[in-house]
Amino acid sequence: MSGKVKMVTMRDVAQASGFSPATVSIVLNNAPLARYIAPATKKRIEEAAKKLGYRPNAMARFLRSRRSQTVGVMIFDITDPFCTPVLRGIENSLYQSSYVPIFADAHNQRTRFERYLEMLLEHHVEALIVVANWLFVDIQLLADLSKRNITAATIGWEVPGDSVSSVMVDNEAGGRLALEHLYHLGHRRIAFIRGPKMLIDSGPRWKGIQKFAHSVGLEIDPSLVVQLPDELEANSGFEGGYRITEELLERKKKFTAVLAFDDLTAFGAIRALTKAGVKIPEHCSVVGFDDVPLSALAAPSLTTVRQPLEAMGNMAVNLVVEGIKASLEKRDWSISRHKMTPELVIRDSTRAMLSAADD
């Protein structure tokens, strides 16, 4: 029944081709010494390897060469729609570089994060990429990595110090884009749903909004500004947006647009507005932030500020791969912090004010 397939080792290839394991190794890895190997030899070895179906043993290889061809990818919560495109970007770039991702999902739990970190270290990942936007992880924990010669990069989040690279969207520019859009559509009474304090994105986005408002002399009515509570559940944004918008409606203050912290919040807001009989976008425009995949599919489709999520994943991989190369060649190398440019995506949830409607 299950005719066990005996593993083909390098020794087998050596035997079959009539050379020594050393030569086989040199040829198959195209090591520096391969310059001196006779072409005929190379050919015979390669043929033997192919004929036998030789597959290098990654573990054994690691033991000598210290290269695992493996990168740890730590996601804080795969349930968050934000993560999927980022993950795609990471996966794709790693694949190009022949690295294999070891996947870890912290479920927003610190202990789980730590346990996974432990496991990743046991598996000797050559680098670590962390996708997150909250802060509760010890800086120490990640800083230790660089001691162990593991380059690390974070996406959507920065750690202080000079040991971890990061890739983020330019939140301030994004906040500005969102408000600018509403402003140019003629909206003046705008409700703002600010992000939870805990998230690193909240501050800069709000700052971008304020700056723009100030630059055009738009007054922000404090009674139209609300803030999401700190929450760890990935999709709490929806619930939060819903509830906070309900409250907003109860205040009976008029507004013609909502600038939500992110897309999920925006969907929550839309749900609440719709329930209250407010039509989107006829009676009220709504703009989100992120451009998660579902934003294009929802009804109405959501105008939002796009984070180039996939590109951010790519970028993080580039950073760590460079880091790996540098440490391999014992070159100096310093971390970098990237701010990606956001982009306004106009869809069906926003609409220009009718000139008379402001009042």
Partner DNA sequence: TGTCTGACTTGAAACGATTCAAATTGCTGG
Partner DNA sequence: CCAGCAATTTGAATCGTTTCAAGTCAGACA
Interaction site with a second copy (CB under 8 A): 2-5, 55-60, 62-63, 68-70, 73, 78-79, 81, 84-85, 87-88, 91-92, 95, 98, 100-105, 107, 112, 116, 118-124, 146-149, 235, 238, 264, 267, 270-271, 274, 293-294, 297-300
Q: Name the segment binding DNA (CB under 7 A); options: 34-42, 200-208, 238-246, 293-301.
A: 34-42
Considering CB distances under 5 to 8 angstroms, the limit depending on partner class, which of a second copy, DNA, none binds residue 2? a second copy
Q: Which is nearer to a second copy, 41 or 133 (CB)?
A: 133
> Can you give 190-208 as a three-state secondary structure string?
EEEEECCCCCCCHHHHHHH
What's the CA gap between 29 and 32, in Å, rounded? Answer: 9
7 touches DNA by CB under 7 A: yes
Compute the least distance from the CB of residue 2 to a second copy, in Å. Answer: 6
Can residue 293 be called a binding residue for DNA (CB under 7 A)? Answer: no
Q: Could you give the CA distance from residue 327 to residue 311 in angstroms, rounded to a whole number?
A: 24
Q: Which of 1, 15, 63, 75 binds DNA (CB under 7 A)?
A: 63
Length of the chain: 359
Is 64 a binding residue for DNA by CB under 7 A? The answer is: yes
Q: Is 254 within 8 Å of 278 (Cβ atoms)?
A: no
Calpha distance 112→23 (Å, rounded): 45
Contact status, residue 280 vs residue 303, Cβ threshold 8 Å: no
Per-residue tokens: 50: 């192919």
Residue (24 or 145) nearer to DNA, CB: 24
Stretch that binds DNA, among 8-16, 201-209, 257-265, 337-345 (CB under 7 A): 8-16
| H helix intervals, the chain | 10-17, 21-28, 39-52, 58-65, 83-96, 110-122, 139-147, 171-184, 202-216, 236-250, 263-275, 294-297, 309-328
Binding site for DNA (CB under 7 A): 7, 9-11, 18-23, 25-26, 28-29, 31, 33, 36-38, 40-41, 54-57, 60-61, 63-65
